[in-house]
């Protein structure tokens, strides 16, 4: 389902930019009689402040996982070896020249469980591998349990289950308070929607009052211009200090990179047109303006020191 922001010609902002915009709009509403808009701004702020908290919690979880808590790397290697042993026995039976029930069982298991071998599992990030192995065990201990017994690999499946439990504990993936990336992405999408609703209200309520409209939307326009400039220089959406509205030192001093575990960092971005954009993509995907909006000169937020501090 299309998200409300797809009807706006703005880059996709990160949470810091959104919080800065909403706080500025709230300040600029002083003296503007619009209770509905003020209520929506407060609602959007609450959602995005919670998103910021979730992002911090996720970063802490991600960092501890990337650093591979004590023993996790060794357990991961044992899981890889056990998976390879299970696969090799299944493959040997599947390729056997002796026709019979075991060959049929092995062919079925290989095609269903390991169509591309073990590499797609063993090459995954720790979190993803943990999930894949959990799904594999469910099938080995469930629908393929008779096949496991017939091929004599029950002891390997039992060993894999023990290693999987240990691995989950070492990664703290089984903790009830662990924040998942899906939760973070969902919160980000809700936060962006909340900002977009505020923007639409401003456009609707002040369509005949360009001065007030421009006054309220100036922070949004400025952040959009700033993101556009950063995209041109670095190809990424900047992390922004929600208090100052300026890119953080980590953003200005770094270049797009990949995480130590092979994943893309939060600064990496790809561009799509607003018509193609979707909040199903990661936060790092940016909507590229297709009109002349990037050439607009948006007024900077009031009392912020002027354009010189932002060039």
What string of pLDDT tens digits covers the 311 residues of the chain? 557 767 788 888 999 999 999 999 999 999 899 999 999 999 999 999 999 999 988 887 666 655 556 678 889 999 999 999 999 999 999 999 989 999 999 999 999 999 989 999 998 888 889 999 999 999 999 989 999 999 999 999 999 999 999 888 887 644 445 678 889 999 999 999 999 999 999 999 999 999 999 999 999 999 999 999 998 888 888 899 999 999 988 655 433 332 333 333 343 333 333 333 333 333 343 333 333 333 333 344 444 333 333 33
Distance CA 39, CA 166 (A): 48
Number of CB atoms found within 10 A of residue 192's CB = 25
pLDDT at 64: 60
User: DSSP characters for 226-246?
Assistant: HHHHHHHHHSSPPPB-TTT-S
Distance CA 20, CA 209 (A): 24
Q: What is the pTM of this model?
A: 0.50
pLDDT at 287: 38
| Domain map (residue ranges) of the chain | 4-66+178-310, 72-170
pLDDT at 124: 86
Number of CB atoms found within 10 A of residue 4's CB = 15
Question: Which residues are 272's β-sheet partners?
Answer: 287
Eight-state DSSP code of residue 287:
E
Question: What is the SS3 assignment for 44?
Answer: helix
Question: Which residues are 271's β-sheet partners?
Answer: 286
For 194, residues 6+ apart whose C-beta sits below 8 A from its C-beta are: 40, 43, 44, 47, 48
Distance CA 17, CA 20 (A): 5
Query: What is the token pair recorded at 244?
Result: 């100052």
User: DSSP characters for 46-96?
Assistant: HHHHHHHHHHHHHHHHHHHHHTT-TTHHHHHHHHHHHHHHHHHHHHHHHT-
pLDDT at 49: 96
Distance CA 204, CA 187 (A): 26
Which is it for the CA torsion 16, 22, 25, 30, positive or negative? Answer: negative
Number of CB atoms found within 10 A of residue 204's CB = 10
| Contact indicator for 221, 199 with CB cutoff of 8 Å | no
Residue appearing with tokens 């130590």: 260
């Amino acid at each position: 389902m299309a998200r409300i922001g797809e009807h706006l010609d703005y880059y996709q902002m990160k949470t810091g930019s959104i919080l800065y915009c909403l706080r500025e709009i709230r300040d600029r509403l002083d003296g503007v009689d619009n209770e509905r808009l003020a209520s929506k701004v407060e609602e959007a702020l609450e959602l995005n402040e919670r998103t910021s908290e979730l992002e911090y919690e996720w970063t802490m979880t991600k960092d501890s996982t990337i650093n591979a808590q004590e023993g996790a790397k060794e357990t991961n290697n044992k899981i890889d070896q056990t998976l390879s042993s299970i696969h090799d026995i299944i493959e040997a039976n599947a390729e056997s020249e002796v026709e019979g029930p075991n060959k049929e069982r092995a062919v079925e298991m290989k095609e269903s469980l390991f169509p591309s071998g073990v590499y797609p599992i063993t090459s995954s990030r720790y979190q993803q591998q943990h999930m894949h192995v959990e799904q594999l065990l469910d099938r080995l201990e469930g629908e393929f349990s008779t096949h496991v017994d017939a091929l004599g690999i029950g002891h390997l499946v039992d060993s894999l289950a023990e290693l999987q439990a240990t691995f989950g504990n070492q990664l703290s993936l089984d903790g009830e308070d662990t924040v998942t990336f899906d939760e973070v992405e969902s919160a980000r999408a809700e936060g962006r929607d909340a900002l977009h609703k505020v923007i639409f209200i401003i456009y609707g309520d002040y369509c005949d009052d360009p001065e007030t409209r421009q006054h309220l939307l100036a922070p949004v326009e400025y952040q959009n211009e700033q993101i556009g400039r950063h995209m041109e220089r670095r190809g990424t959406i900047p992390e922004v200090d929600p208090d100052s509205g300026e890119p953080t030192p980590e953003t200005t001093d770094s270049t797009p990179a990949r995480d130590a575990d092979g994943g893309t960092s939060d600064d990496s971005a790809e561009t799509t047109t607003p018509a193609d954009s979707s909040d199903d993509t990661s936060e790092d995907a940016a909507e590229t303006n297709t009109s002349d909006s990037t050439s607009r000169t948006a007024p900077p937020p009031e009392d912020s020191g002027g354009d010189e501090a932002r060039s």
